[in-house]
Amino acid sequence: MPYHKDKQQAFQAAQQGVDQAIDVYNDLVKNDPDYGRHLKELKNEINEAFQQIDNALEVASENQLDQLRKFKNDLESIVSRVDFDE
Q: What is the pLDDT along the chain (86 residues), one digit of tens a residue?
A: 355 568 899 999 999 999 999 999 999 988 889 998 999 999 999 999 999 999 999 999 999 999 999 999 999 999 999 977 65
Whether residue 3 contacts residue 60, with contact meaning beta carbons closer than 8 Å, is answered with: no
Tell whether the torsion through CA atoms of 60, 65, 68 and 72 is positive or negative: positive
Q: Give the residue from 30, 29, 16 showing the smallest Cα distance to 68.
A: 16
Q: What is the pTM of this model?
A: 0.88
Domain definitions of the chain by residue range: 2-81
Give the pLDDT score at 1. Answer: 38
Q: What number of residues does the chain have?
A: 86
Give the pLDDT score at 59. Answer: 94
71/22 Cα distance (integer angstroms)? 10
